[in-house]
Amino acid sequence: MAGFTLELNDDQKQLRDWLHGFAAEVIRPAAAEWDEREETPWPVIQEAAKAGIYSLDFYAQQYFDPTGLGIPIALEELFWGDAGIALSIVGTGLAAVGVLANGTEEQIGTWVPQMYGDADDVRLAAFCSSEPDAGSDVGAMRTRAVYCRATDEWVLNGTKTWVTNGGIAHVHVVVAVVDPECGSKGHASFIVPPGTAGLSQGQKFKKHGIRASHTAEVVLDDVRIPGHCLLGGKERLDERLARARETARETACEAAGTPSERVKNAAMATFEASRPAVGAMAVGTARAAYEIALDYAGTRTQFGRPVIDNQGIAFQLADMRTRIDAARLLVWRASWMAAAGKPFTSAEGSMSKLYASETAKDVTARAIQILGGNGFTREYPVERMHRDAAIYTIFEGTSEIQRLVIARTLSGLPIR
């Protein structure tokens, strides 16, 4: 287990500098164009694939960094370049993680490479979980998967929403209900192979920010997939459902407000797993806006002196930098704890996501104010960064959900 340190090693510094160069030279110059087009930036993703950034190997190397800092370092630099394009580059990772976490070795070896393709044939994947009536409330999920024993097929029906790469992906990973009586434990994940009949793109969303990232509904209408597309396999699912039924007593205790320690830990792991990564994205966006505002304040003159000489501006910059550094430290702490196997006994993952996402909104708004009228125009990127920052307090659990998780963790109450 690596000890916690704020000093990056040589490999981490090289990673940071390499990705910063890619973000500065490839991502940022293309950001305004693809934001206006509101389309997937295929040429930039292809450049990322050629550089080795858009690949399973790259993310696996960062994931297995024993300090836990590889992923947050990478995400901060990419999102410093542009949030919309960066999300298009990393969005496939959501589906890949779903397969890596739940699939068999054979499924991982078969499907994950197809999610990325290669530099000459770039492909995307989509993770389909949220629904029109089931976002943070996963217990309200309605998409059903029914097993047909005669044909060894699963039949999926339902609608997924807010899906990154939804409908344009080569491979879709879909979370569906297989046993409604087991609640969230009655869910399973399925691979929907490319070209499967019945899967279609629904509404494509016209978004306030991250507009270079494709977000759409995915409609599942009698989608029939082979039995081997159930992640983990039927035998493992049956065993898990049997255990879920056996723990009905513990679930009843949880509903009464006295959850067992095992149930609490399972819920905490579900809520906390991806929070620090989103926090790192938010830190990248906040840092980008702060740096632009700092440079502007140092070069823009009013009344014969740089505007940074005014305390009203200088103090705002001081607060912005302080919040960014504090957010990064929370993200790094949670990332290190996860890599070290330390439990989030105080919801440290949610803390990092909450503070970093709120910081991104605050810092980008202050950047616009410092730039004045220029900040309100699309001639300067802080306007786009402010629009992008709004998503961090919404996806992967809203700020309100983060506060609920933190409060319930501290009080010992169950997380529903």
* Side chain identity at residue 145, one-letter code: A
Catalytic member of 76, 131, 358, 396: 396
d(Cα 224, Cα 193) in Å, to the nearest integer? 10
Three-class secondary structure assignment of the chain: CCCCCCCCCHHHHHHHHHHHHHHHHHHHHHHHHHHHHCCCCHHHHHHHHHHCCCCHHHHHHHHCCCCCCHHHHHHHHHHHHCHHHHHHHHCHHHHHHHHHHHCCHHHHHHHHHHHHEECCEECCEEEECCECCECCCHHHCCCEEEEECCCCEEEEEEEEEEEECCCCCCEEEEEEECCHHHHHHHEEEEEECCCCCCEEEEEECCCCCCCCCCEEEEEEEEEEEEHHHECCCHHHHHHHHHHHHHCHHHHHHHHCCCCCHHHHHHHHHHHHCCHHHHHHHHHHHHHHHHHHHHHHHHHCEECCEEHHHCHHHHHHHHHHHHHHHHHHHHHHHHHHHHHCCCCCCCCHHHHHHHHHHHHHHHHHHHHHHHHHHHHHCCCCCHHHHHHHHHHHHCCCCCHHHHHHHHHHHHHCCCCC
Is 246 a catalytic site residue?
no
Dihedral sign for Cα 282, 351, 260, 415, please.
negative
Measured distance CA(191)–CA(109) in Å, rounded: 13
Whole-number Å distance between alpha carbons of 68 and 339:
5
Question: Would you name the residues annotated as active-site residues?
Answer: 396
